[in-house]
């Protein structure tokens, strides 16, 4: 999947991120790995005679190398967000035998300095290369692999690639070249005992990179499907991702999708629902509802039953996220909102309070603010005070003052969709209701990408196809009204009016203009991060 975000070791050091993370854990730094270390899932393995001859020379590993490797490693572990297992430590060594490996007995990932130095040769992709090999070893640890065959290696590359993407690194296309360089630098034969041959490992890595990119695209489109209230399709996408990669963020977002779907079965109310999607990546479909009464004779009871089922399933998903990380504040807050919607205000208050402290500790300002909003609203309801929810009008129009024909890179969605030559096609899975298979087609342009979700045989269950054209980080163009990436968010509403909906993200928000088919994505600091044009075609799809 093309991405433009690249970092060098020097850029990371200057960013300040390194300083923020370098105190998170204490690595072990040695000239050679200590006796008693288990070399589980070593990336390579030299024979003992060659290994001893190439043992690291005297001297300490520089603090800069340690800090840089630690920062990348910490970002990957945080993105995994799975605290069911003890967080592994990272250790650097001057041995030259294994490149990198997992020591399950000491819960440590070891990285050889020679491999670190090799990664620096990737220039602007140096951190991506380092993330690729560390993510590979982390997947071996988290997935509890027991063998070292082709299936395990492809799995580690595949899920490791998605983990790296979730942490902000782009490893696509790097691992095949990384493998080749490691084999050359370590002077290895193409075939090592206990490993697939080099050619096979390279082919597996290429296949894994494609699978990682597929998962990432499915995860991203799910966010926009939630925003445009396409909850069935969003559930299908979340379910596809969760079959291969379980994380607190995905469970959380799947739960939010169900809560928002449940809101369509709730009478209108003024109280805010500060739900939060986590777009960083990083649902199982709700079970079919069974009723024991005639819904046609009692539609209100049917709506209440569906609402209760959806909210209970959402709470279960938030619990799944919390099981991976009990201090994951967005899931705690969203569970509070779900309990509030079920009428269990005491539980809602408890979980909102539980979300507040970790959000503050983790500098999750948006989450802490939303938790405070919910607590204030719950207290107002308990005191029989009017909810301080819907702010008074600010003089801005409720609808856009005029219609704007938005395009990205001058592309007309209606015309370009016809006969689209996709760069990537991903099978989403079977829709239980229709029994047909959905597919996601992706076309990449210079500064944007077009995503088309439809049935492989034609259209989605509702007889429609969904087109989402997204700006990418490098997009230098502007909206029809002159807005650009990086502009203040405050410029949006004077032109487009108040959005129909706002969905909070852990690092910004989505502002949805339903009738205009437009979504603005904001970033911390109230800046425009990008936008998307959404078109729902009622006619049969042509993908």
**CA separation for the pair 450, 467 (Å, rounded):** 7
Predicted local distance difference test score (pLDDT) of residue 289 = 30
Q: Give me 371's structure tokens.
A: 């938790």
Reported as a single tens digit per residue, the pLDDT across 231-269 is 888 988 998 888 888 888 888 889 989 998 888 776 555
Q: Give me 239's structure tokens.
A: 């379910």
**CA separation for the pair 205, 55 (Å, rounded):** 29
Predicted local distance difference test score (pLDDT) of residue 16 = 26
Q: How large a percentage of the chain has pLDDT more than 70?
A: 73
Q: Give me 87's structure tokens.
A: 């967080």
Task: Kindly report each contact of residues 154-158 with a partner whose C-beta sits within 8 Å and lies 24 or more positions away, as own/partner.
Answer: 154/204, 154/205, 154/207, 154/208, 155/208, 156/41, 157/204, 157/205, 157/208, 157/209, 157/212, 158/207, 158/208, 158/211, 158/212, 158/244
Is the C-alpha dihedral spanning 33, 39, 42, 46 positive or negative? Answer: positive
Reported as a single tens digit per residue, the pLDDT across 488-539 is 999 999 999 989 888 877 778 899 998 889 999 998 888 999 999 999 875 4
Mean pLDDT of the region 101-130: 93
Q: Can you spell out the DSSP letters for 469-483?
A: EEE-TT-----TT--
Question: Which strands form 108-112's sheet, in the order they lie side by side?
Answer: 28-30, 89-93, 108-112, 100-103
Q: How large a percentage of the chain has pLDDT more than 90?
A: 27
Q: Kindly give the pairing relationship between strand 28-30 and strand 108-112.
A: unpaired
Tell me the sheet residues that pair with 488.
527
Residue 46: exposure state from Cβ atoms within 10 A (0-12, 13-18, ≥19): buried
Identify whether the C-beta of residue 220 lies closer than 8 Å to the C-beta of residue 166: no
**CA separation for the pair 181, 119 (Å, rounded):** 9
Mean pLDDT of the region 173-202: 87
Identify whether the C-beta of residue 304 lies closer than 8 Å to the C-beta of residue 275: no
Mean pLDDT of the region 108-115: 94
Angle in degrees, CA 193, 198, 202, rounded to 5: 140
Tell me the sheet residues that pair with 448.
471
Predicted local distance difference test score (pLDDT) of residue 221 = 93
| Closest by Cα among 364, 391, 348, 413 to 498 | 391
What is the pTM (predicted TM-score) of this model?
0.69
Q: Give me 533's structure tokens.
A: 């044009």
4: CB partners within 8 A, 6+ apart? 472, 473, 474
Tell me the sheet residues that pair with 40.
102
**CA separation for the pair 416, 149 (Å, rounded):** 44
Sorted by where each starts, the structural domains of the chain and their CATH numbers stand as: 9-215 (no CATH), 235-382 (1.25.40), 413-537 (no CATH)
What mean pLDDT is reported for the chain? 77
Question: Which strands form 501-505's sheet, in the order they lie side by side?
Answer: 276-277, 501-505, 508-513, 518-523, 527-537, 465-471, 448-455, 437-444, 424-430
Q: Give me 254's structure tokens.
A: 């799947």
Q: Give me 422's structure tokens.
A: 């996709």
Reported as a single tens digit per residue, the pLDDT across 31-81 is 344 444 454 555 556 554 444 334 444 358 999 999 999 999 999 998 887
Predicted local distance difference test score (pLDDT) of residue 71 = 94
Q: Give me 538's structure tokens.
A: 């009622």
| Cα Dmax for the chain | 83
- Interior/surface letters 295-320, b for 16+ CB within 10 angstroms, e for the rest: eeeeeeebbebbbbbbbebbbbbbeb
Is the C-alpha dihedral spanning 347, 348, 354, 357 positive or negative? Answer: negative
538: CB partners within 8 A, 6+ apart? 463, 464
Predicted local distance difference test score (pLDDT) of residue 468 = 94
Reported as a single tens digit per residue, the pLDDT across 128-178 is 999 999 999 999 898 887 665 667 777 787 788 888 887 888 887 788 899
Identify whether the C-beta of residue 248 lies closer than 8 Å to the C-beta of residue 281: no
Identify whether the C-beta of residue 259 lies closer than 8 Å to the C-beta of residue 273: yes
Reported as a single tens digit per residue, the pLDDT across 271-316 is 556 676 666 543 222 232 333 334 344 567 778 888 889 999 999 9
Phi and psi dihedrals of 462, rounded to 5? -80, 10
Predicted local distance difference test score (pLDDT) of residue 339 = 92
């Amino acid at each position: 999947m093309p991405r433009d975000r690249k970092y060098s070791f020097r850029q990371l050091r200057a960013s300040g991120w390194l300083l923020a993370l370098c105190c998170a854990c204490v690595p072990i730094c040695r000239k050679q790995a200590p006796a008693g270390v288990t070399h589980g899932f070593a990336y390579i393995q030299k024979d003992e005679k060659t290994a001893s001859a190439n043992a690291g020379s005297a001297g300490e590993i520089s603090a800069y190398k340690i800090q840089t490797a630690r920062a990348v490693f910490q970002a990957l572990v945080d993105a995994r967000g799975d605290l069911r297992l003890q967080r592994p430590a990272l250790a650097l060594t001057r041995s030259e035998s294994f490149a990198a490996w997992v020591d399950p007995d000491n819960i440590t990932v070891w990285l050889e300095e020679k491999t670190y130095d090799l990664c620096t040769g990737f220039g602007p992709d140096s951190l991506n290369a380092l993330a690729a090999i560390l993510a590979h070893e982390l997947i071996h640890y988290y997935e509890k692999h027991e063998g070292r065959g082709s299936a395990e290696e492809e799995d580690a590359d595949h899920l490791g690639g998605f983990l790296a993407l979730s942490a902000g690194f782009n490893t696509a296309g790097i691992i095949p070249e990384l493998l080749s360089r490691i084999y050359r630098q370590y002077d290895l034969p193409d075939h090592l005992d206990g490993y697939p041959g080099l050619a096979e490992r390279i082919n597996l890595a290429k296949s894994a990179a494609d699978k990682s990119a597929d998962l990432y695209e499915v995860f991203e489109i799910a966010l926009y499907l939630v925003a445009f209230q396409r909850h069935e399709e969003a559930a299908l996408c979340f379910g596809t991702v969760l079959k291969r990669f379980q994380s607190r963020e995905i469970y959380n977002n799947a739960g939010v999708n169900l809560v928002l779907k449940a809101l369509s079965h709730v009478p209108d109310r003024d109280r805010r629902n500060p739900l939060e999607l986590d777009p960083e990546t990083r649902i199982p479909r709700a079970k079919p509802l069974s009723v024991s009464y005639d819904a046609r004779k009692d539609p209100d009871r049917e709506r209440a039953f569906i609402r209760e089922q959806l909210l209970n399933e959402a709470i279960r998903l938030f619990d799944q996220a919390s099981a991976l990380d009990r201090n994951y504040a967005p899931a705690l807050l969203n569970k509070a909102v779900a309990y509030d919607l079920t009428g269990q205000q005491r539980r809602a208050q408890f979980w909102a309070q539980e979300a507040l402290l970790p959000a503050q500790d983790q500098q999750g300002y948006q989450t802490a603010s939303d938790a405070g909003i919910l607590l204030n609203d719950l207290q107002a309801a308990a005191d029989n005070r009017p909810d301080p929810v819907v702010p008074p009008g600010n003089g801005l129009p409720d609808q856009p003052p005029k219609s704007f024909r938005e395009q990205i890179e001058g592309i007309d969605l209606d015309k370009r969709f016809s006969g689209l030559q996709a760069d990537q096609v991903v099978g989403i899975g079977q829709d239980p209701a229709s029994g047909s298979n959905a597919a996601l087609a992706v076309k990449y342009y210079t500064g944007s990408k077009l995503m088309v979700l439809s049935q492989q045989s034609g259209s989605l269950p509702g007889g429609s196809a969904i087109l989402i054209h997204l700006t990418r980080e490098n997009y230098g163009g502007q909206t029809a009204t002159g807005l650009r990436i990086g502009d203040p968010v405050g410029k949006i509403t004077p032109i487009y009016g108040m959005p129909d909906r706002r969905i909070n993200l852990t690092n910004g928000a989505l502002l949805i203009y339903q009738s205009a088919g437009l979504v603005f994505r904001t970033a911390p600091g109230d800046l425009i991060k990008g936008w998307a044009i959404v078109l729902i075609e009622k006619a049969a799809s042509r993908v």
